[in-house]
Chain A
Amino acid sequence: MDWLSPAEWGAVRLSLRVALWATLFSLPLGVLVAYALARWRFPGREVLNVLVHLPLIMPPVVTGYLLLLTFGTRGPIGGLLADWGIVFAFRWTGAALAAGVMAFPFMVRAVRLSIEAVDPKLEQAAATLGASRLWVFLTVTLPMIVPGIIAGTVLTFAKGMGEFGATITFVSNIPGQTQTIPLAIDLLLETPGGEAQAARLAGLSILLAALALALSEWISRRVAARVGGA
C-alpha cells in the first residue's frame, strides 16, 4: 500500500500504538474505578468522581499543562519515574498517557452505567451461595457488564486515536515519537500544499472510527444474545 507516505504510515502506526496502550491501562483501572463509584460508599468518593471527569470538562490544554507539571522530567511523579527509566516527556509514552487520561472518563462512564444496571440482588444471591466478593464480581458482575466494557474500550480506543489538545501541549508534535494522526493532520494543514495529504489522513481516521464502532456493535450483540434476558 503506497497510497500513504512512510511518514503518514508512521503516524498511523503511532496512533494505533498510543491508543492501544492507553486502552490497555485504562481498562482494568477504569473497571475498578467504575465499580468503586457504582457500588462502594467511601470518603472521597465525590472527589474521585470529579477527578475522573475533569479531563472531559477542562480545556485539553489545561490537562496537558497539568500532565507536563506532574509527569514532566522535573515534575514530582515524572522525576520519580525517570529514575526507574520511565520517561514520558516528548516520547510516545507521554502521548499514550495523555490519551489515556483524556479517554479515561469515557471508559469509566460506560462501565459504571453497565454496573449500575446489574441488580445487586443477583450479587447477594451469589454471596448466599458461597461466593466471596471477588468471586461474585468474576462470576456474576463481570459477565453481565461485558457489553459495557466493550463499549468503554471502543470509546477509549477511538478517543485515544484522536486525542489532540492535551497531547500536543504535553509532548509536543515530534514526527515518529508523538506525532499521531491528528497531530500530523494539524501540521499538514499548516504546510503549503499539504491539504491533499491531510484529507487522506482525515478519511483514514473516519474509516478507523467507523470500523471500531461496527466491531463493538457486533461484539455487543453477540454477547447480549449469549447473556440473554433476565
Chain B
Amino acid sequence: MLEVSVRHAFAGFTLDAAFRAPPGVTVLFGRSGSGKTTVVNAVAGLLMPDAGRIASGDWALLDTEAGVRLPPHRRRLGYIFQEGRLFPHLTVRQNLRYGAWFAPKDAPREDMGRVVDLLGIGHLLDRRPGALSGGEKQRVAIGRALLSAPRLILADEPLAALDEARKAEILPYFERLRDEVAVPILYVSHSASEVARLATTVVAMDAGRVVAQGPAAEVLGDPSVLPAGAREAGAVLTARVVRLHEDGLCELDAAGVPLFLPRAAEAPGVVLRVRIAAHDVILSRTRPEGLSALNILPGVVHEMRPGAGPGTLVALDTPAGRVLARITRRSAETMGLAPGQTCHAIVKSVSVAPEDVGGPRLDLAE
C-alpha cells in the first residue's frame, strides 16, 4: 500500500493532495492542470515538495518531518513517461537492460524474455529508438521500466502522445501488466475510457486537490465526482461473456442482466469491464417495447445532479451496478423523475465504443 501526502506551493497554484494506492492500478484522474503529473513527479523524486510523506509500508521515499528525501535514483521506481524518453544512443536491448544494471543484486527481477514476449518487442531488440514507431517506443519504455526491478511503476499519460490506433495497441499491455505483474502501478490519465478499463482504484483530482478516491466503479458511478467534466461522465459495469452470437454480437451477463455488445473478441467465461457513457443512456419510466436498442436495465434512481447547463446527471442503481445517465432537466421534469423511483436505462449496443470495453481483470473475476 503506497501512501502519498504532498503539499507544494507554485506561483498561482497550490498542490495539497493525499491518497492511498492499494495493489493494482491506481489512476490519478483529472483535467490537465489538476496536479496529477506533479504528484507523480513528487513520488519519483523529480520534484521535491515543500512538505509531505510518501511511503510504501515502512519504506519512506519522502518524509519532510523526519528529514527523509531520497533522490530519484534511490527510489527504485519504473517511470513510464508520456514521450517514452528512450536513450537514443543505445539499442532497444541496452535500453531494456539499463535499469537492471543499477538495481540491487538481490532485487526481485522480471525475466527479460518474459517481458519481451509480453510486450511483443523481440524483433526490435537490436534496433535503435530512432527507428521505432511511436507505439513501439512506448512498448519498449514499458519494458524498460518493468525490467528495472521497480517496487512501483509510475505512468504519466503514457498513451497521450499516441493516435487512437496506437492507443488501442498499447492499452491491452497495461491491462496485462495489471493482471500479470505484481508491482503496483500509479497511472496518470485524463481519459475516461483509460480509467474505466485500467483502474483498480481511482483518485480524482481537481485544482491540486483530491476530490474523491476509492474503487473504480464507486468513484466513476458517483455523479458528484466529475474530474473530466459532465461530458465525460460514465459508469463502469463488470460482466461475464456468455456467448458470441453469429450476427457478431457478444452476449454478456451482468449480475443477471443480459448485455449485448459489438465486441466479439473474448471467449465465454471471460470477465470484462464495460464503460457506459452517460450521454449514451436513455431513460424510460416503463419498460419500452418495440425498440431497436438491445440493452434495457431496470433500476432505481439513486441521485440526481443538475448541471450548470440544461442537463442533469441521473445515477441509477441497477442489478448490474451503478449506471449514470445524462439527460435534460426538461425530460427529468416531464418524466417526474426523483430519487427512489423505478425506471429503465436503455443503451444501444453499438454506442459502446470498443475502447470502452476492457480485457479481463483478475481481482474482479471471482
Contact = CB atoms under 8 A, between A and B. Distances in A.
Interface of A: 119, 121-122, 124-133, 135-136, 139-140, 143-144, 226-230
Given A228-B89, A229-B130, A230-B130, A128 B102 contact: no
Contact of B83 (A121, A135, A227): A121
27 contacts: A119-B85, A121-B83, A121-B85, A122-B87, A124-B46, A124-B85, A125-B85, A126-B87, A128-B44, A128-B45, A128-B72, A128-B73, A128-B77, A128-B154, A129-B145, A132-B73, A136-B73, A139-B98, A140-B89, A144-B89, A226-B89, A228-B128, A228-B131, A229-B88, A229-B130, A230-B129, A230-B130
B37 to A, nearest CB: 13
Nearest to A226: B89
Given A124-B46, A230-B130, A130 B73 contact: yes
Given A124-B46, A230-B129, A129 B89 contact: no
Most buried by B among A125, A128, A143, A230: A128
B144 interface: yes
B75 interface: yes
A227 B89 contact: yes
Interface string B69-86: 001111111110101010
Interface residues of B, number: 31
A126 B46 CA distance: 11
B102 A130 contact: yes
A202 B71 CA distance: 55
A135 B98 CA distance: 11
Contacts of B131: 228
B57 to A, nearest CB: 20
Contacts of B77: 128
B26 interface: no
A35 to B, nearest CB: 17
B99 interface: yes
Nearest to B130: A229
Contacts of A131: 73, 98, 102
Given A128-B77, A130-B99, A228 B71 contact: no
B88 A128 contact: no
B148 interface: yes
Given A122-B85, A228-B88, A228-B131, 11 more contacts: A125-B85, A127-B45, A127-B73, A128-B44, A128-B46, A128-B75, A128-B154, A129-B148, A139-B98, A143-B89, A228-B128
Nearest to A227: B89
B55 interface: no
A127 B71 contact: yes
Most buried by B among A122, A127, A139, A144: A127
Contact of B99 (A129, A133, A226): A129
B361 to A, nearest CB: 27
A130 B148 contact: yes
B148 to A, nearest CB: 5
Contacts of B88: 122, 144, 227-230
Contacts of B353: none
B144 A129 contact: yes
Contacts of A143: 89
B103 interface: yes
Contacts of B154: 128
A99 to B, nearest CB: 32
Contacts of A121: 81, 83, 85
The 10 lowest CB-CB distance pairs between A and B, nearest first, are A130-B102, A229-B130, A129-B99, A125-B85, A128-B79, A127-B72, A228-B130, A227-B89, A228-B128, A143-B89
A122 B85 CA distance: 6
A139 to B, nearest CB: 8
Nearest to A136: B73
Interface in B94-122: 98-99, 101-103
B102 A129 contact: yes
Contacts of A132: 71, 73
Contacts of A133: 73
Contacts of A229: 88, 130
A131 to B, nearest CB: 6
Contacts of A127: 45-46, 71-73
A130 B148 CA distance: 8
Contacts of B72: 124, 127-128
Nearest to A140: B87
A121 B144 CA distance: 15
B90 to A, nearest CB: 8
A153 to B, nearest CB: 19
Contacts of B75: 128
Most buried by B among A131, A133, A136, A144: A131
